[in-house]
Amino acid sequence: MSEGRRWGARSISSLIVFVLAAALTIPALVGHWGHRTVIDAGRYIETVGPLASSPEVQEAVADAVTQAVLDKVDTEKQVDELLTGLFPDRPVIQGLSAPIAAGVNSAIAALIDRFVTSDAFQEVWLKLNTALQRGIVAVLSGETDGTVKLEGDQIVLDVSSLLGDVQTYLVDQGISAAGNITIPDNDRTIVLAEAPALAQLRLVYSLTSPLLEWLPLVIAALFALSIFLARRRARTTVATGIALLVAGVLVWQGLGIGETVFVDQLAGTVFAPASTVFWNTLFVYLVAGTKAISLICIAVIFAGWLSGRT
């Protein structure tokens, strides 16, 4: 009877450990990705740094910056004022100002296109993303002063440095009017995400941050302990493989849903062409990890199946 109780206690303990490990698998996968890709500054830059050479990202940044600059530079007015001092005939001025202004706008757009394909933009991109990574960590840590800030229920990125670098480049290229641009505060930020659940994210970050790097190993150890405690280890091994496979599928589906939402949010904006490229690059480590776990799961299932009695 005592042996029956001992085995009963082991079976219950195995089940509890198994359920705990299964429940923590998805948070472990996502948390480990977050630690490796977002929290780790070096790996984050390694991940997003090459995006500066992506044609889609270059096009999106060029369009956004060109739009911001041209919205603040009334080239037609400036050309009109210049021509007024040269020609006394007002109809002539009106006929010339519009096409000349259009030519100036095209020149500005061409210069910005040249800028985003230059080595200077590579440096600006790395500087901006370094500040972005630090800002995200600061927000998760409870700080609110930095490149990434809270404005109401929104997490926003301050792009003042990027706009300033573009202004300097345009002035250096002979567009002196660009040096007089004053970007309003509401045009200096980009909304990164809505933050109604930020308090929960901060709590999870504060509790799990020290463990994020090692959490997958902890989960593996819990599953191994569950198998060790189980009376029917082969069956528990198969169940472990199935649980991990289900977790991988759920993460894969979650990534698909998240990508759809992300791309839809940017649809119709200048960032739309770069949205898919940015998403796929940012989550490449999580996708690779999910694929690897799926293969491991299949091996675990077969190992448990072959080691069973039936």
pLDDT in tens, 117-129: 888 888 888 888 8
What is each CA distance from 135 to 31, 142, 197, in whole angstroms?
A: 18, 11, 17
> What was the pLDDT predicted at 279?
86
Task: Locate 78 and state its tokens.
Answer: 């400036």
- By C-alpha distance, which of 289, 226, 294, 229 is closest to 20? 226
| Overall average pLDDT of the 13-41 stretch | 86
Q: How far apart are CA 180 and CA 223, in angstroms?
A: 63
The one-letter amino acid at 149: K
* % the chain with pLDDT above 90: 5
pLDDT band at 283 (very low <50, low <70, confident <90, very high): confident
Q: What is the DSSP letter of 36?
A: I
> What was the pLDDT predicted at 11?
84
- By C-alpha distance, which of 270, 261, 274 is closest to 67? 270
Q: How far apart are CA 175 and CA 168, in angstroms?
A: 10
Phi, psi of 141 (to 5 degrees): -85, -5
Q: Which residue has the tokens 């190992």?
A: 303
pTM of the predicted model, to two decimals? 0.70
32-84 pLDDT, tens per residue? 888 888 788 888 888 888 888 888 888 888 887 777 777 666 666 666 666 66
Greater pLDDT, 24 or 155? 24
Task: Locate 2 and state its tokens.
Answer: 């005592």
- By C-alpha distance, which of 235, 300, 255, 225 is closest to 37? 255
> What was the pLDDT predicted at 4?
45
Mean of per-residue pLDDT scores for the chain: 76
Among 55-64, 84-93, 125-134, 270-279, the minimum mean pLDDT is found in 84-93
- By C-alpha distance, which of 243, 260, 220 is closest to 32? 220
The answer on pLDDT for 219 being more than 60 is yes
Q: What is the DSSP letter of 181?
A: -
